[in-house]
Amino acid sequence: MHAPIRRYHQNILKVLRNKLLHLIARNTISNRLRIFLFRLSGAKIAKSSFIGIETFLDDQFPQYIKIGKGCVLSFRVNLVVHDMSGYLKPITFKRNSYAGCASTILPGVIVGENSFIAAGSVVTKDVPPNTIVAGVPARVIKQTEPRHNVKVFK
């Protein structure tokens, strides 16, 4: 069910434009500007989300990244939707999910609502709603109750 990369050869100018947009976005101080630039490249990001400095969103296939309302991607988070073998699948963050510093989310992962990914984790499988995951590879550490979840943004 994965899409081979060779089917999606892109215009070289579009790829270069996305790389430039992502380079600027990763290093800008303003969260609003960062989200604007990532959205301009094709990523689907809710305005009420937060994306930290030096966060890497796959610049070759940004259209495969979706970040929902109230999500927080801390500093140096990596979202990779493809690998060199031709595997290409989207990454989705549902509402109010959080990715800690230097965590890596691999292709095909869906992060459920109100979920928390610990710093430095490598997420290879879907994260169920209302859970805390940690480790390499990330494993469920704790289930949380929905009433205890804190909404970061309205």
Give the chain's domains with CATH numbers.
11-143 (2.160.10.10)
| pLDDT (0 to 100) of residue 2 | 55
Per-residue pLDDT averaged across 64-77, rounded?
Answer: 96
pLDDT, tens digit, 9 for 90 and up, residues 104-116? 999 999 999 999 9
State the Cα–Cα distance between residues 92 and 108, nearest whole angstrom: 8
- Quickly list DSSP for 52-121: -TT-EE-SSSGGGEEE-TT-EE-TT-EE--B-TTS-B--EEE-TT-EE-TT-EE-TT-EEPTT-EE-TT-
Per-residue pLDDT averaged across 73-79, rounded?
Answer: 96
Give 150 or 41, the one with higher predicted confidence.
Answer: 41
Name the band, by pLDDT with cuts 50, 70 and 90, for residue 16. confident
| pLDDT surpasses 70 at 143 | yes
Residues whose CB falls within 8 Å of the CB of residue 104, separated by 6 or more in sequence, listed in order? 77, 78, 80, 121, 122, 123
Q: What are phi and psi of 98, to 5 degrees?
A: -135, 135
Question: Please, which residues bridge with residue 139 across strands?
Answer: 134
Q: Strand 131-134 vs strand 139-143: parallel, antiparallel, or unpaired?
A: antiparallel
Per-residue pLDDT averaged across 122-133, rounded?
Answer: 96
Residues whose CB falls within 8 Å of the CB of residue 2, separated by 6 or more in sequence, listed in order? 86, 87, 88, 89, 107, 108
| pLDDT surpasses 80 at 120 | yes
pTM score of the predicted model: 0.83
| pLDDT surpasses 70 at 140 | yes
Name the band, by pLDDT with cuts 50, 70 and 90, for residue 7. very low
State the Cα–Cα distance between residues 130 and 148, nearest whole angstrom: 9
